[in-house]
Amino acid sequence: MAKAIISEADNLAATLLSSSTSTSKSSSKIVAPSLLADASTRLERALRYVSISDDAISRLRYPKASLSVSIPVRMDDGSLRIFQGYRVRYDDTRGPGKGGVRYHPNVTLDEVQSLAFWMTFKCALLNLPFGGAKGGVTVNPKELSQAELERLSRGYVDAIADFIGPDVDIPAPDVYTNSTIMGWMMDQYSIIKRQLTRGVVTGKPLTLGGSRGRETATAMGAFYIIQTILPKFNQIPEQTTVAMQGFGNAGSTLADLLAKAGYKVVAVSDSQGGIYAPQGLDIPSIREYKNSRRSVKAVYCKDSVCNIVEHQVITNEQLLTLDVDVLIPAALENQITIANASDVKAKYIFEVANGPITSAADDILSDKGIHVFPDILVNAGGVTVSYFEWVQNRNGWYWTLEEINQRLKEKMEAETQQTWSIAQELGVSIRTAAYIHALNRLGEALDAKGTRDYYINPM
């Protein structure tokens, strides 16, 4: 059986790799493997430690469904622009697809497929009754007015309405989307279906059926995991320095939680740059400035809201190589690669962003003795509270913030402990252990639909 597992793992990686590379006619060079192909290497390693049927592995080779749409939007000046949108449902064996929608100029079908792939394993890892999905629109939302952004969001739902639904595929916020945008999407879907359908998206405003705690869920989940993991290494908060790449909703909230818990947050950054102070930063003041000016670059704070301390301006690249205890990539994918992994000095890395470390960089970090805690575990707080929101929408009964956070804490701590135990028992990395844990659950669900063995040897 072991040989068969290894063979199928190799076949899966090869399939994803070959389907995600291309040859340029002008240069006759092979384009670098895609995000999806890179993600498959993590799966390959985990497959060697699970007893999963060939049928189940075959099902995981490709996304179940991929949709590309064109979204015409009438701009404020009267012109018409066409935006490219995507929605991918990678696997829905364990339940309806679940995954965010991101607005970003670099969104591609490959990226959306990769994110849906990760969501499949994230939902299984947290034992949520969902499959993996993801969506996106290729756009720079900062260039759009509020009215244009609303028309784009409603147009996106118009284009994918037959592809989503509370029992089919449930979108949520992601990069550069928020509760307001989710509210527009829910409203547009309800208009199309001619009935109020709150459960079609999660991350909505409270007044439209959203859940308390959803805005801070990703950060809270990551905080619970950090608090669970670091004591295993005898790491005391007051003696732990932290660098945070990414100061959006998740990054800024997590930095605030860590600072209040006693951790010394010494560096933060956003897309424009970062700041660094070895003695620690005043995170509430930075959040105040960020919220009012949309930037943390070159300015630490305003005299009226904080005490000035010495600091230096740094780049995002410099932040990744700071000599700190904990590094938290909370921005975009492919931030730590084979090009800069050898320069990373942190002892522990917690992936709040999706796919911030490439598989090749993983090996370098492992050789340096750096402990990496993977995205499919660390940032799963968002989809977990999205599940809570979906449940509340269906039941019509809404929980308090204290109940939400307690349920989230129990869920994150339980799956973290199980993943840790698998890693210790098998002598594998936490990332591989997380995929093993998720694969076991996915394998059971996929096999329950019937396998080759069942048809050869029927009951």
Which residues are designated catalytic? 134
Contact 57, 9 (CB under 8 A): yes
Give the residue carrying structure tokens 């509020």.
146
> Hey, how many other C-beta atoms are within 10 angstroms of the C-beta on 298?
10
Would you say 311 and 276 are in contact if contact means Cβ atoms under 8 Å apart?
Answer: yes
Q: Which amino acid is present at 399?
A: W
Give 28's DSSP letter.
Answer: -
Residue with tokens 């690669």: 337
Q: How far apart are alpha carbons 198 and 379 in whole angstroms?
A: 24
Residue 176 Cα distances to 243, 264, 315, angstroms: 22, 28, 21
Gap between the Cα atoms of 190 and 167, Å rounded: 14
Residue by residue, DSSP assigns 333-368 as S--B-TTTGGG---SEEE--SSS-B-HHHHHHHHHT
Amino acid of residue 370: I
| 84: three-class secondary structure by DSSP | strand
